[in-house]
Structures are given as C-alpha cells and as structure tokens.
Amino acid sequence: MTFADFGFDQKLNDGLDSMGYEKPTPIQEQAIPVILQNQDVIACAQTGTGKTAAYILPVINKMIHTDHRHLNTLIIAPTRELAQQIDQQIEGFAYFTGISSIPIYGGGDGAAWDQQKRALEQGADIIVATPGRLIALLAAGTTVFDHLQHLILDEADRMLDMGFYDDIVKIVSYLPKDRQTLLFSATMPPKIRALANKILNQPVEINIAIAKPAEGITQEAYVVYDEQKGGLLNHVLKTHRWSSIILFASTKETVKKLDAAFRRSNIPARAFHSDLEQTEREEILRAFRNKQINLIIGTDVLSRGIDVEGISMVINWDVPPDPEDYVHRIGRTARAETTGTAITFVNERDQRRFQSIENLIGYPIPKMPLPAELGKGPVYAPQTKRNENFRKKGRGPSRKRFRPRSNR
C-alpha cells in the first residue's frame, strides 16, 4: 500500500513529501480509510507506530474540502511535550493547505494565557490541548465548539493515569454530539473501555499488537558514519563470540555489495533476498541450519517467520525503515529462551528512525563507543534536522572499501 491509495488532496500529498514519508505504517493503513469515512475509532497503538499521522492526515484532508473558518478539530493530549510534537507534525503536513493549528497548555505567564484565550475565541482550525489548561479556559467562559467536527484523544490511558478522567468528560460535555471521535491508547484497561462507551459512537476497533524484544537479547548500537561501517563490522566479528550471524540490510543492493565483500574473505557467507528463487532460498537456509555457512546477509525478507534455532547474533548494517521490523529482525536471535546479541549501526540519517524504535520498545538501547582505530563517529542527536542534512553536504571521513576479516 502507498499513500497514493488514500486519494489525498495534492496539497496534503505535497506536505507528506516534504516530511519524507514514503509508505504508510500498519496503523496508518488501517485507520486512515476508516477515519476518511467519518467513523469513530478506538485504536490500540503505541508511540513509534505512526499513530499521530494516522489521525492527523485524514482529518486535514477532510478539512481541506470544508469551509475552514471555525474550530474544526480538538486534539487532547496528556502533556505539553506531546501537544507540541503533535502541533509540529500538523504544521508540517498542513504547510501547503492553509490550515492552522495552535497548542494550548499550562505554564507560561499571563500573556500566554491571554494569547491562548484569544486564539481559542478567534479560532484556529485545530487546537492541540492538555486537559487542565483547556478546562481552565473553558471555565473562564470561552466556548467555541459550535462547528467542531472531530475530537481526538491521544495517549488516553496516560491521561487517565494522570487523573484527567473527569476533566475529559467535562470537556466532552461542551462539544456538539454530532461529531467524529477518535481515541488512541497504548493499552486498553477497563477504564479506557468505560470512557470509550461514554464518548464514542459505534467505533471501529483497531489493534496494532507489538511484539516486544525477548529478554535474552542483548541490544547494542554504534553511532557511525557510513564510511566507518566496514571497519566496525570487522571489529564486531573479531571481538564478539559468535557461531552464526544474520547481517541485515534494508535494500538488496546493499545485501549484494556486502555479499561481494564477503566473497573475498574467508567467512562462508550467503546473500538472501527477493531476487532468489524459492529453491535457492531453501537451500541457503538448509546450509545455515546445518552450519555449513555461518553468516547470512539478508533484507527484511529474512526478518519475519524464518525459524532457525541457535543464531547467536543479529547485526543491522542499517536501521530498518519500519520500527516493527527491528523487533522482527532481532527476534531471529535468542529464540526458545536462549540468549543472543543484536547490534545496530546507526548513521546520521537513521538516527530519527532509531529513536522511533526506542520509543516503540519503550527504552533506550545502549550506544557503544567506537573502537579507537576508527576515529570519532557522529554525535547521537536524533531530534536535530542537522544530522539528516549532514551527509548531503559531503562531510565526514573519506570513503574506504570494506574487506571482511576474521580471526576465527
């Protein structure tokens, strides 16, 4: 599936392009068509799955085709940080549409309060609010919801954990009954069900179940320039104890390049990708199971469902585009309650993706120091755009050809 399948307005597609999104995530594939059809939704999805775009994109698309002079959409989120992040994403997607959004959250001085009050009264198209500040503004007599069409609750379970149940019910009492309501939550405890029964109308349920990495997997990451990856791979192969390895790369071109490099080494390795015939794939897996080869280099074709026992290490030459693929990739090791190691090489461009993985699994993955002979790597700073532009400017160490070496 691609974003073109949703039939979005060109102005929104331009925004999507500028954000660099290429392919919808599973929650986006499932939620967007339902939201476009004006149905209520209750979705179980965690941070890192792409849930924010799953509700923002269809809502913006609908808004492009309506008279947008009134407050159309209210998004409620538990914290100021999340409200800001959502607001920034809206700004990116809506850049070419003329649709505006404002964040409303506590803190700040009297001027911030006045500004938010004015913004509420004069109307932005979308408001992203934390419950406490919104209640305070409503109590001060600001009601602006006559034309509201969408209510979205993001991270609803966290809002209830923070004690916002009554505030949310109160806010909803100010809203028109004839509206579309979307509830997103990482978990579905009974109190979320109770809230959903109260405020949703025959919702479609969407559940994006995420497998967490098994506990026996030791996860490590190295923050590197592309040019350092070959040397780093040699270092990892030399310094870790391993019996069999899967080396993952995101494209078959990279897999083929790595395969060619291994052919010049004394490590028996084979490439596994979608260009191979089924019989060839089976033959490679058989040889791997029988330990005739110790290393497979593969794309994500290998990351799902292939059951080979006793893989001691997974190395990610790059960060997979879809955070869930990371969990699938590293799940090839430490099967059946054994232990294993998963090592990921993260270049500057992949840092944001890597952070999405950390968000998805719910903890940071340790960043290991580079071996001294490779020199300094990039700084891990996934929030900055600078890192993504860095390579394009052609900085960083000079390119060296990778030759695998083994001391085994």
Q: Which residues bind ligand AMP (CB under 6 A)?
A: 21, 23-25, 28, 47-53, 352, 356
Q: DSSP letter string over 225-271?
A: -GGGHHHHHHHHHHHS--S-EEEE-SSHHHHHHHHHHHHTSSS-EEE
Q: How far is the CB of 54 from ligand AMP (least distance, A)?
A: 7
Kindly report the three-state secondary structure assignment for every residue of 116-133. HHHHHHHCCCEEEECHHH
Q: Which is nearer to ligand AMP, 104 or 360 (CB)?
A: 360
Helix (H, G, I), strand (E, B) or coil at 278: helix
Q: Which is nearer to ligand AMP, 25 or 61 (CB)?
A: 25
Q: Which is nearer to ligand AMP, 28 or 303 (CB)?
A: 28
DSSP conformation class of 329:
H
Q: How far is the CB of 67 from ligand AMP (least distance, A)?
A: 28
Q: How far is the CB of 142 from ligand AMP (least distance, A)?
A: 29
Q: CA-to-CA distance for 247 and 329, rounded, in angstroms?
A: 9
Q: How far is the CB of 282 from ligand AMP (least distance, A)?
A: 33
Q: How far is the CB of 291 from ligand AMP (least distance, A)?
A: 38
DSSP conformation class of 212:
P
Q: CA-to-CA distance for 80 and 86, rounded, in angstroms?
A: 10
Kind of pairing, strands 204-207 and 313-316?
A: unpaired
Question: Residue 256 burial (CB < 10 Å; 0-12/13-18/19+)?
Answer: middle
Q: How far is the CB of 53 from ligand AMP (least distance, A)?
A: 5
Q: How far is the CB of 231 from ligand AMP (least distance, A)?
A: 30
Structure tokens at 295: 């290393």
Q: How far is the CB of 321 from ligand AMP (least distance, A)?
A: 7
Q: Which is nearer to ligand AMP, 216 or 321 (CB)?
A: 321
Q: Which is nearer to ligand AMP, 31 or 271 (CB)?
A: 31
Q: Which is nearer to ligand AMP, 89 or 234 (CB)?
A: 89
| Residue whose pair of structure tokens reads 């001691």 in the numeric block | 312
302 alpha carbon, distance to own chain's centre = 21
Helix (H, G, I), strand (E, B) or coil at 99: coil
Q: Which is nearer to ligand AMP, 270 or 328 (CB)?
A: 328
At residue 148, φ and ψ (nearest 5 deg) are -65, 135
Q: Determine contact, residues 126/100, Cβ cutoff 8 Å.
A: yes
Q: CA-to-CA distance for 251 and 275, rounded, in angstroms?
A: 11
Q: Which is nearer to ligand AMP, 25 or 244 (CB)?
A: 25
Q: Determine contact, residues 404/297, Cβ cutoff 8 Å.
A: no
